[in-house]
Structure 1
Amino acid sequence: MPTIGPSQNEPHQHRQMAESFGSDAERYDRARPRYPQALVERIAAASPGPDVLDVGSGTGIVTRQFEAVGCKVLGVEPDARMAGVARSLKGDVDVATFEDWDPAGRTFDAIVSGQAWHWIDPIAGAAKAARVLRPGGSLAAFWNVPLFPSGMAEAVADVCRRAVPDAPVGFQAMTKGPLDGYQTLSAKAADGIREAAGFGEPEQWRFDWEWTYTRDAWLDQMPTQGVFTRLPSDRLAEVLEGVGAVIDARGGSFTMRYATVAVTATVQPGAGSRGPA
């Protein structure tokens, strides 16, 4: 589903959509998909220590996954509503945009960012990450890309186009390769890392997995997606009713294929923790 923003070229400039996810933070935490365990374990295993900074930490979904493998995680989240949910679940969160966040002398072994790095200036964000990472530390930004079953993507896109003809994000990506938009994001993140300096050459990873949704579970998630977070209630109801009918026609559930794409880079010797960020 389209969650990237009104401009896939410079989404970090569109703070209004970036800060709309907290409008129903509890639903966001409940309904949003988690990330592949293999991804979490690979990042944690490569880290020189347990201290992790979760950038754009939201309600703490990524934070809790890394804590479950033994990491100590601090979140940085600009939306106080999202941070409030994370804190209610025992998360440690600073409320700030990453660009303006004050590390107060703190440094980290890894920086992670799930479904959020595109809301951060790619060059300024990478430069700041390099300054607060310890030697051998790494930055890992990753995104879940949903891939609807064949035939269902077209039906869902038709419902969305009818209900939201003026959407700032087109729905054609559902049917014409949703990976393309996210690969553009990951390429931009990699370019920002290169331009900021301080890191070795970025690597790109991909993890494929599946999740089966009931009708109710998928309709619970849809309002948390960027294009729908600020939609008037009557138009959102139209979307949910139409998509619900599509799922009902498939027997009341469906299996979503996900591709989780990641960009990672390791701080070069002598580049990390170089002073105030």
Structure 2
Amino acid sequence: MAAVLSRNCATAAPEVTVVPQDFETWERAPDHHRPFDLLLSAQAWHWTDPEVRWSKAKQVLRAGGTLALFWNDWYVSDDDLRHELIAAHEHRLPELPPHSILEKVPRGSVMGPDSWVPRELLADGGFTDLTYLQYPTAHHRSTSGLVDVLSSLSFYRLLPEATREAVLADVAGAVDAYGGSVRLDTRTGLFLARTASGRYPEGNHPSD
């Protein structure tokens, strides 16, 4: 992903610097002293270390800077196709994925004001103006497009290769039988917060 971003920015936005490094251990370059206005995480904040993520966010953001975290939930809108996809998984696996397109309301979703995201944000005490927004959209995926989505999810990536290929082949067969296309109703949940204003007096941010 970093390589793709670097290629896309090479001519369109040459001022963008791409640094492929873990967020928790990243340090700004010695010649970059300004804190950031925005920290954005797309479908990834749950992978960061809970012991470090909030303090690191406050470290890199200016006072009043914005933290924006978002995730997507996908749903197969056609119930008949969804049941076929469930059957394709049950044929190969002892249990279904814990958070997947196979459920009307995915287990483990971070969506909603009572999930671990706002709880941790509020418990930290260093953020304010917590806002939660939802954006519903619909996407049509081809058979290969749906397989690409599933292949990017950790549940499938952690399966033994032979099992993963067999499950995805069964999924592809089920979608092909329904015309080679699937509608995914998508719910995007966005959490916004700001570092507490006045947390650092003007000119006294740790990075200055």
How does the TM-score come out when normalised to structure 2? 0.80
SS in structure 1 opposite 2:197? coil
- Partners of 2:108 and 2:206 in 1: how far apart? 37
Structure 1 residue 87 and structure 2 residue 6: aligned?
Answer: yes
SS in structure 2 opposite 1:94? coil
Deviation at 1:237, TM superposition (A): 2.2
The residue type paired with residue 89 of structure 1 is N
Deviation at 1:184, TM superposition (A): 7.1
Name the residue aligned to 1:155: 84
- Partners of 1:258 and 1:179 in 2: how far apart? 15
- Partners of 1:166 and 1:255 in 2: how far apart? 24
Residue correspondence of structure 1 range 178-197 to structure 2 within 5 A:
178=106, 181-183=109-111, 187-197=115-125
| 1:34-86 CA distance string (max 9 Å, x none) | xxxxxxxxxxxxxxxxxxxxxxxxx1xxxxxxxxxxxxxxxxxxxxxxx3343
Q: Which runs of 5+ in 2 are unaligned?
A: 10-15
What RMSD, in angstroms, separates the aligned Cα atoms of the two structures?
2.8
Deviation at 1:259, TM superposition (A): 0.1
Name the residue aligned to 2:177: 249
The residue type paired with residue 20 of structure 2 is V
Q: Which runs of 5+ in 1 are unaligned?
A: 1-58, 60-82
Name the residue aligned to 2:153: 225
- Partners of 2:64 and 2:132 in 1: how far apart? 18
Question: Cα 1:84–1:130, aligned 2, differ >3 Å: closer, same or farther?
Answer: same
Runs of 4+ in 1 over 4 A off after TM superposition: none
SS in structure 2 opposite 1:93? coil
Question: Cα 1:123–1:151, aligned 2, differ >3 Å: closer, same or farther?
Answer: farther
Larger Rg: 2
- Partners of 1:113 and 1:99 in 2: how far apart? 13
Higher helix share: 1
- Partners of 1:92 and 1:156 in 2: how far apart? 41
| 1:178-215 CA distance string (max 9 Å, x none) | 17523279721222222222211421111000111111
